């Protein structure tokens, strides 16, 4: 819908145009009339006019001066000039002011109608383009705001072995997320492991502090180099350094930055942290490098507040016959036996091609072990279950021959597939959460530490805290406190033991502290709780 203004000091000329043009066909809903420039200015100030048909020669203020005035206020206004004289100077000035249409009187209405239709179409197209541009800007800004989440999701998929199978798809993703690398570029990975909190933190406080630790890692470890800090699906903090950051992974600058980060975490964020550094020969190998870091951290029960370098295994290019186990993760987690059979057959065929070479057999052994650890931890099951079942054979024994490796592989895969998604089916003893919960219930009277629990389930303390929080929504300290206070509430309600005696039976020598913790959980004192149950 458009609005038109006709300006001419000759009233009959204005009326002739109003009556001579089919405005309805042009989608014009209002036609305003002005008989001098001053009247036109008042209308232009009060109404939104889309197109002005204006005589050039008028008293006091001519059409060109009126157009100059409108350009300062309504730059999008389209103008068609009318004149009795074919003066090139007029036409030239009109074009300088942005008007291309210049018609001689007397006007042929059909021609004027065609000129008006052309101008209104151009105006409509410009508005559509402007709307589309604004829409694009809005979505572009929205995309930019969510870009960090999208990049994090991309790296999570790559670490799981997804989206990296087809090179073309990987290249498209790298271009879409504007990452400064190619699919063949090497990467450095750093796993930041929170080993202990020096203050008692709840699950929410841990998440908040985790955010602060990631931002600190951006400032201290990435430190302006090309790279990204993210959180994986297990709650690990990961630093990915792009090719522009590459040097010897054990080089002093990177190690020094990690040591500075460890010191800052202890001083400002009340936690002990270790940095595990590994490398991926190419972007497509990041999944294997990631699993190697998890395996290294999982097996570290003693070393704290250190920079640890993961033993990097360089692989030949895929064209040379390398094998990837990253697609095993989903099949192991989902218990998809048919898909697992296909993947095992591919692995067995590759093993036969290697003709018993120990280096190749070792590669298969470690690749399987890494994805098995990852799948078990994702399920909340302790990888120590493999040791308990005698399946965690050392590489020397499992890789003695192709036959030994095949037998070990079949047993390990069968054992993992037999577990339910929750880890609480046929083998409840395998569930990390159930083992921890059982241990806590049996030792409520003792001082229970995270290190003690981690040794019980044969799992790195940092891993244990993350898995427990992911599976229960509580921190270990919150769970232990609630279990103790729940036991206290049962004793208060069902026995005549004194409150101080109940406190001592649960390991609290300080009665005031016990009462404070009880009120924290039940919002009432132990005495009031007992009276309410009598």
Sign of the CA dihedral running 266, 269, 273, 276: negative
The residues with which 197 forms a beta bridge, in sequence order, are 271
Using the predicted structure, report yes or no on whether residue 31 has a pLDDT greater than 90: yes
Using the predicted structure, report yes or no on whether residue 471 has a pLDDT greater than 50: yes
Q: Output the DSSP codes for 43-64.
A: HHHHS--SEEEEES--SSS-HH
Neighbouring C-beta atoms of residue 489, cutoff 10 Å: 19
At residue 501 the predicted structure's pLDDT band, cuts being 50, 70 and 90, is: very high
CATH classification number, 436-533, choose in 3.40.50.2300, 1.10.10.60, 3.60.70.12, 3.30.43.10:
1.10.10.60
Most confident among 50-54, 78-82, 232-236 (mean pLDDT): 50-54
Strand 271-280 versus strand 187-197 pairing type: antiparallel
Neighbouring C-beta atoms of residue 238, cutoff 10 Å: 24
At residue 414 the predicted structure's pLDDT band, cuts being 50, 70 and 90, is: confident
User: What is the C-alpha to C-alpha distance for residues 148 and 215, in angstroms, rounded to an integer?
Assistant: 13
Using the predicted structure, report yes or no on whether residue 283 has a pLDDT greater than 80: yes
| Mean pLDDT of the 67-81 span | 85
C-alpha 152: how far from chain center: 4
Using the predicted structure, report yes or no on whether residue 461 has a pLDDT greater than 50: yes
Please give the angle made by the CA atoms of 516, 194 and 468, to the nearest 5 degrees: 60
Using the predicted structure, report yes or no on whether residue 386 has a pLDDT greater than 80: no
User: What is the C-alpha to C-alpha distance for residues 152 and 236, in angstroms, rounded to an integer?
Assistant: 12
Q: 202-261, pLDDT tens digit by residue?
A: 666 777 788 888 889 999 999 888 888 988 877 788 999 987 655 555 667 888 999 999
Query: What does the pLDDT read at residue 385?
Result: 66
The residues with which 342 forms a beta bridge, in sequence order, are none
Residue 297: which residues within 8 A CB-CB, separation 6 or more? 191, 193, 274, 276, 460, 462, 463
Tokens 């100077």 belong to 89
Whether residue 106 is preceded by a cis peptide bond, meaning omega within 30 degrees of 0, is: yes
CA distances from 211 to 140, 231, 235 (A): 26, 9, 11
Sequence spans of domains, the chain: 2-128, 161-317, 328-417, 436-533
| The dihedral formed by the CA atoms of 239, 241, 242 and 248, expressed in degrees to the nearest 10 | -150
Of the two residues 137 and 97, the one the predictor is more confident about is 137
CB 416 within 8 A of CB 476: no
User: What is the C-alpha to C-alpha distance for residues 246 and 279, in angstroms, rounded to an integer?
Assistant: 10
The residues with which 364 forms a beta bridge, in sequence order, are none
The residues with which 308 forms a beta bridge, in sequence order, are 276
Give the closest residue to 215 by CA, choosing from 230, 235, 199: 230
The residues with which 28 forms a beta bridge, in sequence order, are 2
Query: What does the pLDDT read at residue 304?
Result: 81
| Mean pLDDT of the 172-201 span | 82
Query: What does the pLDDT read at residue 484?
Result: 92
Residue 100: which residues within 8 A CB-CB, separation 6 or more? none
- The half-sphere exposure of 13 on its side-chain side, counting CA atoms within 13 A, is 19
User: What is the C-alpha to C-alpha distance for residues 131 and 164, in angstroms, rounded to an integer?
Assistant: 38
Using the predicted structure, report yes or no on whether residue 42 has a pLDDT greater than 60: yes
Query: What does the pLDDT read at residue 125?
Result: 86
Query: What does the pLDDT read at residue 179?
Result: 82
| Mean pLDDT of the 47-55 span | 91
Query: What does the pLDDT read at residue 316?
Result: 36
Domain 2-128 matching CATH 3.40.50.2300: the answer reads yes
Residue 138: which residues within 8 A CB-CB, separation 6 or more? none
Q: 350-385, pLDDT tens digit by residue?
A: 888 877 777 788 878 877 877 787 777 767 776 666
What phi, psi does 227 have (nearest 5°)?
175, 180
Sign of the CA dihedral running 280, 286, 289, 293: positive
Residue 339: which residues within 8 A CB-CB, separation 6 or more? 331
Query: What does the pLDDT read at residue 52?
Result: 92
As a three-state string, the secondary structure of 390-450 is CCCCCHHHHCCCHHHHHHHHHHHHHHHHCCCCCCCCCCHHHEHHHHHHHHHHHCCCCCCCH
CB 274 within 8 A of CB 219: no
- High-pLDDT (> 70) share of the chain, %: 80
Of the two residues 48 and 400, the one the predictor is more confident about is 48
Q: 294-325, pLDDT tens digit by residue?
A: 777 776 767 788 898 876 444 333 333 456 66
Query: What does the pLDDT read at residue 15?
Result: 92
Neighbouring C-beta atoms of residue 12, cutoff 10 Å: 8
Most confident among 78-82, 273-277, 422-426 (mean pLDDT): 273-277
Give the closest residue to 9 by CA, choosing from 64, 48, 46, 54: 54
CB 265 within 8 A of CB 209: no
Lowest-confidence range among 91-95, 312-316, 413-417, 436-440?
A: 312-316
Query: What does the pLDDT read at residue 33?
Result: 94
Burial class (CB in 10 A: 0-12, 13-18, 19+), 123: middle
Q: Is 279 helix (H, G, I), strand (E, B) or coil?
A: strand
Tokens 């890692």 belong to 217
User: What is the C-alpha to C-alpha distance for residues 48 and 222, in angstroms, rounded to an integer?
Assistant: 54
CB 333 within 8 A of CB 379: yes
Lowest-confidence range among 18-22, 127-131, 422-426?
A: 422-426
User: What is the C-alpha to C-alpha distance for residues 177 and 172, in angstroms, rounded to an integer?
Assistant: 9
Query: What does the pLDDT read at residue 301?
Result: 65
The residues with which 7 forms a beta bridge, in sequence order, are 34, 54
Quote the DSSP letter at residue 202: -
Domain 161-317, what fold?
Answer: Alpha-Beta Plaits (3.30.70)
Query: What does the pLDDT read at residue 85?
Result: 61
At residue 423 the predicted structure's pLDDT band, cuts being 50, 70 and 90, is: very low
At residue 6 the predicted structure's pLDDT band, cuts being 50, 70 and 90, is: very high
CB 271 within 8 A of CB 192: no
Q: 132-179, pLDDT tens digit by residue?
A: 767 666 655 655 666 677 788 888 888 876 554 556 677 877 887 778
At residue 455 the predicted structure's pLDDT band, cuts being 50, 70 and 90, is: confident
Using the predicted structure, report yes or no on whether residue 494 has a pLDDT greater than 50: yes
What phi, psi does 79 have (nearest 5°)?
-135, 135
User: What is the C-alpha to C-alpha distance for residues 307 and 284, in angstroms, rounded to an integer?
Assistant: 25
Using the predicted structure, report yes or no on whether residue 2 has a pLDDT greater than 60: yes
Using the predicted structure, report yes or no on whether residue 81 has a pLDDT greater than 70: yes
At residue 524 the predicted structure's pLDDT band, cuts being 50, 70 and 90, is: very high
Mean residue pLDDT of the chain comes to 80
User: What is the C-alpha to C-alpha distance for residues 526 and 311, in angstroms, rounded to an integer?
Assistant: 54
Query: What does the pLDDT read at residue 223?
Result: 87
């Amino acid at each position: 819908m458009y609005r038109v203004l006709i300006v001419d000091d000759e009233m009959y000329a204005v009326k002739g145009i109003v009556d001579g043009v089919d405005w309805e066909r042009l989608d014009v809903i209002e036609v305003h009339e002005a008989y001098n420039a001053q009247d036109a200015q008042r209308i232009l100030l009060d109404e939104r006019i889309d197109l002005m048909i204006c005589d050039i020669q008028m008293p006091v203020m001519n059409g060109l001066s009126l157009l100059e005035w409108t350009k300062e206020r309504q730059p999008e206004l389209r103008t068609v000039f009318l004149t009795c004289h074919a003066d090139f100077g007029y036409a030239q000035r009109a074009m300088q002011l942005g008007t291309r249409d210049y018609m001689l009187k007397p006007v042929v209405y059909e021609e004027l109608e065609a000129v008006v239709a052309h101008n209104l179409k151009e105006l409509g197209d410009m508005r559509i383009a402007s709307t589309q541009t604004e829409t694009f800007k809005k979505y572009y800004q929205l995309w930019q705001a969510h870009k960090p989440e999208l990049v994090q999701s991309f790296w999570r998929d790559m670490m799981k072995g997804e989206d990296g199978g087809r090179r073309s798809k990987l290249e498209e993703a790298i271009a879409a997320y504007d990452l400064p690398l190619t699919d063949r570029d090497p990467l450095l990975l750093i796993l930041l492991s929170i080993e202990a909190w020096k203050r008692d933190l709840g699950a929410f406080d841990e998440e908040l502090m985790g955010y602060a630790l990631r931002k600190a890692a951006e400032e201290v470890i990435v430190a302006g180099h090309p790279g990204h800090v993210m959180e994986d699906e297990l709650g690990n903090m990961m630093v990915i350094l792009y090719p522009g950051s590459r040097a010897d992974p054990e080089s002093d600058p990177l190690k020094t930055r990690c040591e500075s980060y460890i010191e800052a975490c202890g001083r400002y964020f009340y936690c002990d942290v270790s940095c595990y550094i590994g490398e991926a020969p190419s972007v497509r190998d990041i999944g294997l490098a990631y699993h190697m870091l998890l395996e290294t951290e999982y097996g570290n029960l003693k070393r704290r507040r250190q920079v640890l370098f993961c033993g990097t295994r360089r692989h030949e290019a895929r064209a040379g016959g390398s094998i990837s186990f990253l697609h095993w993760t989903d099949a192991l987690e989902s218990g998809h036996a048919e898909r697992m059979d296909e993947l095992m057959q591919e692995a067995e065929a590759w093993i036969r091609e290697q003709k018993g070479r120990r280096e190749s057999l070792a590669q298969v052994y470690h690749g399987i072990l890494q994805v098995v650890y990852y799948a078990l931890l994702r399920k909340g099951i302790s990888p120590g279950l493999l040791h308990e079942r005698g399946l965690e054979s050392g590489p020397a024994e499992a890789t003695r021959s192709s036959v030994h490796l095949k037998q070990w592989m079949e047993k390990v895969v069968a054992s993992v597939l037999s577990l339910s998604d929750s880890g609480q089916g046929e083998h409840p003893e395998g569930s990390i959460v159930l083992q921890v919960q059982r241990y806590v219930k049996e030792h409520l009277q003792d001082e229970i530490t995270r290190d003690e629990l981690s040794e019980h389930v044969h799992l790195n303390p940092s891993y244990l805290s993350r898995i427990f929080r992911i599976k229960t929504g509580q921190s270990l300290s919150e769970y232990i406190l609630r279990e103790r206070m729940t036991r206290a509430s049962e004793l208060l309600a069902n026995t005549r033991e004194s409150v101080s005696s109940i406190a001592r039976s649960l390991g609290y020598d300080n009665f005031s502290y016990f009462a404070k913790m009880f009120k924290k959980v039940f919002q009432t004192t132990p005495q009031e709780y007992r009276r309410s149950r009598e």
